[in-house]
């Protein structure tokens, strides 16, 4: 019998240990999961931070490649203003500043027409891209700010936005370097191309006009002079004005330029000009490395294209390789095993991306280690975030967000309560198998705990449980008082089960006034009460397991857990000291007869043990909640950083799409582009429009009453902004603004993305001629609307500005030159003829060639025959003036809105 009791006692011990181990493993798993989650969130936080920094740098690079920093900062600040603040402004925002003592350089490629005729369109854009990318590198070297690229014309300024005393010398060095670069192209392409460079020093007004396609530009009389210096220059030479020569202080040798003989503008204004003498050792002194050839043309008759990179990839250092060595290098590069240059480019990109990814991974791991060490040392919850005693967040909104935070481990906590009740029941059954109340409390308690557990799990596994139960479970998770009530109910069930078992056992012990219970009990009675009399400590161990189950609760405040622990400790202590007084006295008498005089009674030691365990578990619960709140703060930080990334991306996208057409902007957003990665697209049927205000030059003055010309440009900004606002109308959705050149507005139709809805999506074979050229009719409508807009501005401002517009249709090549300094433009004979239609036109009229006339007359436009006129480079062309529109029908679906200039048939 003794062996049997010992075996049962051993099994009871095993039950306690297994229960403690299971709950401990669950606790470890939950804590480990939280730490791993914290690690992943720390890593994610760092990745987001790096992404944010990259987005910021991308935005800044893009902005500063097109706009100077002082303009970009003000523009970004205005973009973030509230709409109500913008509505209060009387005029459209204009970003314009005056800069004195600067040098303006204009450079034009002479013989570009011959070069373009010997290249395919794509090769021409590649050549321009590589050449202008080279010029951009030279501009950075010689402190130039590139203003614009106009076809084959490149112009830049030195001394802006920061003043430089050597602005004139830097501009001349830049011009000489450009002449050297083009001479190398001329030699290698076997075409008669050259650079004509003009430099003038003076004052400019620099800024941005309009609301769309922002491009930094400069205006002033001195800019016009610099342009004429280039036009009146000599190919291969740098042509400078008297004011520029005076700024050189004899640094360069010059000779008479006689610019007035070649340019009426210079002669009429009596501007003295000079030609810079090219130094014999200019190439060596200036450290300009020659460009080298890279990719062969796909067309055998076309010239080779240039590569703009130095031999060592550096802009600042001189390339020490001789031209012969450079050519040998190219021979090795053009490997027969890689005949396709695009494939070589992709392989090189892939290798670079692999290296970048490895470097980024190493950098991320290093920063992650530093961040984790910092998080270990810095107490995130100290001070401003939480109350020291309750650990509640000081910010009420933050506390509410934390209270409704979903915790997926809540179901595991209730499962632990079920496990604890199961093992305590088994343990009691082993100690006292005849205690009937034990089985009753187990059946009732386990049923109730399972109900609580299922209600908690329903929100975690919504597909398994009914919708109403899932909704109820979700409500409990997001309601603090309901969640606390649910947790208190679970612990109350555990505590009551233990308490009822103890009280039931105590009720079976006869009351006696003697010092010991033993003499009053028979042997059989002692056997039946063996669980209570011989093993009262096991019921205190059950209370400890209940304390452990309390610590497992999640999303429950440590103050609530403390309340539950005090309940368990108090009830168990009261039962030990009062209800079980005789049982513990009997236990001490039987077990410790020899030490009875100096021994502390077991009823006190077990109660103190439970209290000490309660203090330890409370400290652990407080630590767990502190960790949970810290993780929550880190999660909030990650979320905020994500929001910053998304916000930065939105601003980035808004800026890009305001500088490039939307379908082109999509090509550049979200990826790193190199100079070799071009965007180009050929179009066969495009409309091109140039609209200038010739008499604006008469209006423009730089007198003090006009604030040095700024007020005149403010008026031009209003005009261009009103033209831009027309493009927001649905009927002009297929028209794209290309750029403004001074007071000239350039737009094109039919270059929008093919993914747009409407007639452009249809295949050409499926379209009639009327559908194919609908966009050209829209462009003609836009030109007439511009005239009406300007007429309204004249009426309100008592001015007499007039538009001179040229229209043409045909094939063009659209593309972006320079991925690092993106400049969207269109090229081709169609563009040249449209420009000539404007320059040879008459103010107040829209001039078109015969091909346009034949198409547009079918849309109800009225024309007047002008007759043949001489167009430079084209000879005699028959032209017409577009006067208006007789009837509706500018849209296929017939739902167009009548414009103010349209005459509707009665």
Structure-token match 């200019």, residue found: 282
Structure tokens at 844: 């107040």
Are 210 and 724 in contact by the 8 Å Cβ rule? The answer is yes
Residue 7 has a CB neighbour count (10 Å cut-off) of 11
Fill in the DSSP letter of residue 767.
S
CA distance 425 to 530: 16
Angle, helix 537-551 to helix 480-507, in steps of 10 degrees: 180
Going by DSSP bridges, is the β-strand pair 144-150/153-158 parallel, antiparallel, or unpaired? antiparallel
Are 210 and 717 in contact by the 8 Å Cβ rule? The answer is yes
Phi, psi dihedrals of residue 392, rounded to the nearest 5°: -70, 145
Among candidate residues 451, 445, 442, 493, the one with its CA nearest the CA of residue 472: 451
- Residue 99, Cβ density class (10 Å: 0-12 exposed, 13-18 middle, ≥19 buried): buried
Structure tokens at 125: 């854009």
Q: Among 66, 104, 108, 693, which one carries the catalytic annotation?
A: 108
CA distance 426 to 592: 28
Phi, psi dihedrals of residue 280, rounded to the nearest 5°: -65, -35
C-alpha separations of 148 from 132, 152, 742, 853, 883 in Å? 11, 11, 11, 33, 34
109 a catalytic residue? yes
CA distance 398 to 750: 52
Angle, helix 581-591 to helix 602-659, in steps of 10 degrees: 110
Element (H, E) at 153: strand 153-158
CA distance 215 to 740: 8
CA torsion angle 823 829 831 835 (round to 10): 130
Structure-token match 């139960």, residue found: 469
108 a catalytic residue? yes
Q: Among 71, 109, 157, 182, which one carries the catalytic annotation?
A: 109
What three-state secondary structure class fits 587? helix
CA distance 862 to 864: 7
CA distance 146 to 105: 9
CA distance 584 to 606: 10
Among candidate residues 690, 694, 703, the one with its CA nearest the CA of residue 220: 703
Strand partners, 393: 386
Among candidate residues 285, 260, 65, 319, the one with its CA nearest the CA of residue 169: 285
What three-state secondary structure class fits 735? strand
152 a catalytic residue? yes
Among candidate residues 204, 214, 217, 206, the one with its CA nearest the CA of residue 76: 214
Residue 905 has a CB neighbour count (10 Å cut-off) of 7
Element (H, E) at 683: strand 679-692
Are 399 and 392 in contact by the 8 Å Cβ rule? The answer is yes
Q: Among 136, 147, 149, 152, which one carries the catalytic annotation?
A: 152
What three-state secondary structure class fits 829? helix
CA distance 813 to 810: 10
- Residue 671, Cβ density class (10 Å: 0-12 exposed, 13-18 middle, ≥19 buried): exposed
Are 642 and 49 in contact by the 8 Å Cβ rule? The answer is no
What three-state secondary structure class fits 812? strand
Give the residue numbers marked as catalytic. 108-109, 152
């Amino acid at each position: 019998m003794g062996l049997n009791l010992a075996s049962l006692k051993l099994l009871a011990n095993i039950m306690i240990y297994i229960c403690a181990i299971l709950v401990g493993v669950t606790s470890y798993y939950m804590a480990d999961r939280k730490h791993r989650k914290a690690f992943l969130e720390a890593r994610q936080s760092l990745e987001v931070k790096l992404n944010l920094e990259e987005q910021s740098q991308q935005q800044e690079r893009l902005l500063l490649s097109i706009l100077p920093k002082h303009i970009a900062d003000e523009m970004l600040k205005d973009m973030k203003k509230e709409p109500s603040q913008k509505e209060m402004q009387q005029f459209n925002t204009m970003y314009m500043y005056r800069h004195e003592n600067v040098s303006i350089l204009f450079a034009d490629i002479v013989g570009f027409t011959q070069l373009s005729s010997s290249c395919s369109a794509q090769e021409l854009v590649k050549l321009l891209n590589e050449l202008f990318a080279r010029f951009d590198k030279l501009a950075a070297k010689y402190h130039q700010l590139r203003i614009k690229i106009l076809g084959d014309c490149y112009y830049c300024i030195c001394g802006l936005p920061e003043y430089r005393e050597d602005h004139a010398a830097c501009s001349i060095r830049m011009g000489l370097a450009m002449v050297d670069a083009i001479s190398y192209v001329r030699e290698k392409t076997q075409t008669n191309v050259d650079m004509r460079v003009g430099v003038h020093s003076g004052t400019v007004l620099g800024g941005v006009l309009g609301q769309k396609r922002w491009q930094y530009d400069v205006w002033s009389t001195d800019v016009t002079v610099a342009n004429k210096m280039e036009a009146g220059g000599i190919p291969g030479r740098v042509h400078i004005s008297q004011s520029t020569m005076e700024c050189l202080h004899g640094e360069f040798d010059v000779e008479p330029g006689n610019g007035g003989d070649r340019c009426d503008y210079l002669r009429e204004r009596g501007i003295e000009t000079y030609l810079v003498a090219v130094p014999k050792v200019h190439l060596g002194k200036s450290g300009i490395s020659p460009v080298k050839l890279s990719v062969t043309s796909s067309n055998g008759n076309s010239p080779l294209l240039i590569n703009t990179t130095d031999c060592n990839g550096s802009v600042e250092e001189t390339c020490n390789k001789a031209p012969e060595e450079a050519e040998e290098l190219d021979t090795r590069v053009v490997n027969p095993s890689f005949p396709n240059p695009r494939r070589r480019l992709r392989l090189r990109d892939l290798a670079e991306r692999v290296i970048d990814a490895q470097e980024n991974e190493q950098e991320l791991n290093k920063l992650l280690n530093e961040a984790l060490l910092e998080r270990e040392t810095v107490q995130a919850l100290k001070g401003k975030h939480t109350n020291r005693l309750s650990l509640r967040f000081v910010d009420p909104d933050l506390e509410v967000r934390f209270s409704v935070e979903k915790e997926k481990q809540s179901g595991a906590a209730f499962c632990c309560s079920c496990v604890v009740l199961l093992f305590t029941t088994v343990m009691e059954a082993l100690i006292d198998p005849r205690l009937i109340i034990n089985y009753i409390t187990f059946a009732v308690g386990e049923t109730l705990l399972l109900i609580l557990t299922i209600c908690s799990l329903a929100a975690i596994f919504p597909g398994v449980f009914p919708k109403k139960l899932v909704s109820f479970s979700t409500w409990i998770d997001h309601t603090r008082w309901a969640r606390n009530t649910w947790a208190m109910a679970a612990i109350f069930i555990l505590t009551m089960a233990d308490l009822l078992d103890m009280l039931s056992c105590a009720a079976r012990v006869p009351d006696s006034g003697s010092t010991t219970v033993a003499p009053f009990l028979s042997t059989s009675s002692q056997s039946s009460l063996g669980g209570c009399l011989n093993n009262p400590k096991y019921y205190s161990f059950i209370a400890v397991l209940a304390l452990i189950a309390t610590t497992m609760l999640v999303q429950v405040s440590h103050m609530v857990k403390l309340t539950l622990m005090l309940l368990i400790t108090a009830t168990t202590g009261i039962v030990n000291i009062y209800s079980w007084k005789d049982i513990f006295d009997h236990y001490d008498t039987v077990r410790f007869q020899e030490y009875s005089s100096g021994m502390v009674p077991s009823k006190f030691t077990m109660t103190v043990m439970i209290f000490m365990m309660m203090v330890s578990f409370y400290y652990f619960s407080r630590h767990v909640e502190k960790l949970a709140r810290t993780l929550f703060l880190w999660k909030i930080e990650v979320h905020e950083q994500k929001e910053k990334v998304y916000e930065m991306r939105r601003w980035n996208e808004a800026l890009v799409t305001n500088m490039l057409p939307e379908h082109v902007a999509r090509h550049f957003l979200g990826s790193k582009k190199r100079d070799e990665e071009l965007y180009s697209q050929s179009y066969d049927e495009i409309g091109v429009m140039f609209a200038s205000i010739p008499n604006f030059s008469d209006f423009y003055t730089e007198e003090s009453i006009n604030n040095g010309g700024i007020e005149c440009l403010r008026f031009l900004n209003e005009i261009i902004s009103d033209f831009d606002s027309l493009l927001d109308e649905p009927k002009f959705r297929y028209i794209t603004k290309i750029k403004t050149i001074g007071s000239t507005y350039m737009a094109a139709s039919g270059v929008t993305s093919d993914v747009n809805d409407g007639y452009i999506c249809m295949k050409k074979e499926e379209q009639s001629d009327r559908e194919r050229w609908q966009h050209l009719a829209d462009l003609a409508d836009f030109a007439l609307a511009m005239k009406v807009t300007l007429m309204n501005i004249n009426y309100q401002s008592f001015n007499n500005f007039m538009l001179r517009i040229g229209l043409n249709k045909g094939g063009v090549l659209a593309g972006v030159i320079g991925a690092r300094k993106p400049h969207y433009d269109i090229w081709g004979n169609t563009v040249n003829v449209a420009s000539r239609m404007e320059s040879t036109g008459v103010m107040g009229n829209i001039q078109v060639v015969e091909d346009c006339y034949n198409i547009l007359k079918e849309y109800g436009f009225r024309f007047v025959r002008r007759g043949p006129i001489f167009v430079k480079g084209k000879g005699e062309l028959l032209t017409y003036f577009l006067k208006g529109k007789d009837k509706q029908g500018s849209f296929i679906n017939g739902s167009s809105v009548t414009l103010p200039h349209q005459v509707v048939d009665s």
